[in-house]
Structure 1
Amino acid sequence: MLTDTHTHLYYETDEEKLTLLMQRCLDNQVTRLFLPNVDIASIAQVDSLVNKYPDHCFAMAGLHPCEVREDYEEVLDQICESIVDRQIYAIGEIGIDLHWDKTTLEIQKTAFREQINWAKDLDLPIVIHCREAFDEIFEVLDAEKDEKLRGIFHCFTGNLEQANRAIALGFYLGIGGVVTYKKSGLDEVLKDVLLSRIVLETDSPYLAPVPFRGKPNESSYLVYIAEKLSEIYQVSVEEIAKVTTANSVSIFNI
């Protein structure tokens, strides 16, 4: 049994295509999918997929840092209000992204802190989006560190020092398709990271693993990421599935 701890499979709006995407997941033993929302509109999309596949799909709630704009306070209020009537398993995806727009850094930080506090109040993990912003992310996390702060560094692509710092703060590393890319260097980093601190993800429809790199990603491709980790850790794919799924259960409590 494989667990995709981060997928936007709900972006597919064609019902027939979505059914086939889910069927390919189940055929490949990808039976647990965690769905982060990114804005207000995606809440309904996430909930729709969860309602269709309640035994396989699990919701998160959060505001993606790239969606933090001038009206972010109002948007956060609406997302927070939605949580009252929904079963969610994490606050995410949240964080800081300085790839596209550095001018919003301060409000990104503010939104990040507020959502961390949601997670603490609800005793939930957070799922962190970090792009070109490790220093800024760690600045916030160091200030917020306590026994309730925990979660996943989604799409981790950092170096060993950053990996160890994240783990020391109580986080797991979300490993996706990038680990299959020849020049990523992530495989070398993971050789010094315990498998007990790793979870798998696809971030579909983005970052498809080899041999599908450059094409739309899907959660069924998680098997290729598991196979790469099997090479790195020199254990069977079954062991990778067992340990990483157990890690996901520990994080999400389901």
Structure 2
Amino acid sequence: MKPPPAAELNAGGVAPGRGDTAARGAELRQNLAEVRERMRRACEAAGRAPDEITLIAVTKFFPVQDAVLLAGAGVADLGESRDQEASAKVAEFGGLSKAKVRWHFIGRLQSNKAKSVARYADVVHSVDRLELAKALDNGVRRAEREPLAVLVQLSLDADPERGGSASAELERLADEVAGLDSLRLAGVMAIAPLDVEADVAFGQLEEVAERVRASHPEARMISAGMSNDLEAAVRHGATHVRIGTALLGRRATPFR
């Protein structure tokens, strides 16, 4: 069999979902231990307790077998960013694992996909406009499920590809989301731009989060930090970090 191209290999040189399951499981457990140690050190430096931070393993573009292996290693929160991939993966995961996990939708979301996402997501991190919030609210009602936890996304650079709402508009959006019966405002999220120092970016997010909490004390989640900047996120109050590459390796072309 012809070996997969180098672009489809993860950091350990294994094609996810195609190589030896035991070897891949060992690799993921090692990566997980290293990420948790980084989180522990970051918390120690920031004077915070490690149990204040939730690790979300971002499994997008990786096969469902990796999600199953991570759940077996104790990861309780999994993140996806594309509805087509996520909905199929959630369904397949349920047939492969008895592990209880929370599914986080962390990517940009079109309003016409909201009905689908509302059926399986436990948390949506990327609400950046009222139209989307209303579509999710309607989707939750149609699914006849409990209120969906959502975070309002702050834009730190006005890049439409990243999504997010400007800080001047975010508090109003938070008020509007909190007024929808089928959604539960859980906090704020942001992605640090590559050309902005992470401490500066997350410092802005921390300030906005404090203002949102002043009006909505229950909105305590701060979703911030990825593989390259989780330490800065922890310094600025992150409660959830979204880790992909450091856990699973370099992303390849989607397998679906």
Give TM-score, length-normalised by structure 2.
0.53
The DSSP-based 3-state class of the residue aligned with 1:197 is coil
Query: Out of 124, 127, 144, which is 1:127 matched to?
Result: 124
- Percent sequence identity is 12
Query: Out of 38, 44, 48, which is 1:24 matched to?
Result: 38
Residue 209 of structure 2 aligns with an amino acid whose one-letter code is L
The DSSP-based 3-state class of the residue aligned with 1:174 is strand
With over 3 angstroms needed to count, the CA separation of the structure-2 counterparts of 1:201 and 1:75, relative to structure 1, is closer
Q: Quote the Cα distance in structure 1 between the aligned partners of 2:232 and 2:208.
A: 22
Give TM-score, length-normalised by structure 1.
0.53
| Residue 3 of structure 1: aligned partner | none
Larger radius of gyration between Structure 1 and Structure 2: 2
| Residue 37 of structure 1: aligned partner | 59
Query: Cα distance, 1:94 vs. partner?
Result: 5.5
Q: Do 1:153 and 1:173's aligned partners in 2 also have CA atoms closer than 8 Å?
A: yes
With over 3 angstroms needed to count, the CA separation of the structure-2 counterparts of 1:183 and 1:50, relative to structure 1, is closer
Residue 176 of structure 2 aligns with an amino acid whose one-letter code is R
Q: Do 2:191 and 2:224's aligned partners in 1 also have CA atoms closer than 8 Å?
A: yes
Root-mean-square deviation over aligned CA pairs = 3.9
Query: Out of 150, 153, 167, which is 2:148 matched to?
Result: 150
Q: Quote the Cα distance in structure 2 between the aligned partners of 1:18 and 1:174.
A: 25
For residues 1-254 of structure 1, what are the structure 2 equivalents within 5 Å? Answer: 13-14=11-12, 15=27, 19-27=33-41, 28=43, 29-31=49-51, 32-39=54-61, 41-52=62-73, 54=74, 57-60=75-78, 62=80, 64-65=81-82, 72=84, 76-86=87-97, 87-93=99-105, 96-97=108-109, 105=110, 109-110=112-113, 112-119=114-121, 125-130=122-127, 134-146=129-141, 148-153=146-151, 155-157=153-155, 158=165, 159-168=170-179, 169-175=183-189, 178=192, 180-181=199-200, 186-194=205-213, 195-205=217-227, 216-218=228-230, 220-226=231-237
Query: Cα distance, 1:30 vs. partner?
Result: 2.9
Residue 192 of structure 1 aligns with an amino acid whose one-letter code is R
Q: Quote the Cα distance in structure 2 between the aligned partners of 1:184 and 1:223.
A: 11
Residue 34 of structure 1 aligns with an amino acid whose one-letter code is I
Residue 133 of structure 2 aligns with an amino acid whose one-letter code is F
Query: Cα distance, 1:88 vs. partner?
Result: 4.0
Q: Do 1:34 and 1:59's aligned partners in 2 also have CA atoms closer than 8 Å?
A: yes
Q: Quote the Cα distance in structure 2 between the aligned partners of 1:82 and 1:46.
A: 8
- What residue ranges of structure 2 are gaps of 5+ in the alignment? 1-9, 13-26, 44-48, 156-164, 193-197, 241-256
With over 3 angstroms needed to count, the CA separation of the structure-2 counterparts of 1:94 and 1:109, relative to structure 1, is farther
With over 3 angstroms needed to count, the CA separation of the structure-2 counterparts of 1:82 and 1:26, relative to structure 1, is same
Query: Cα distance, 1:116 vs. partner?
Result: 1.0
Size of the alignment, in residue pairs? 180
Q: Quote the Cα distance in structure 1 between the aligned partners of 2:86 and 2:105.
A: 14
Query: Cα distance, 1:143 vs. partner?
Result: 2.0
With over 3 angstroms needed to count, the CA separation of the structure-2 counterparts of 1:51 and 1:81, relative to structure 1, is closer
Q: Quote the Cα distance in structure 1 between the aligned partners of 2:152 and 2:67.
A: 18
Q: Quote the Cα distance in structure 1 between the aligned partners of 2:102 and 2:37.
A: 25
- What residue ranges of structure 1 are gaps of 5+ in the alignment? 1-11, 98-104, 120-124, 206-215, 230-243, 246-254
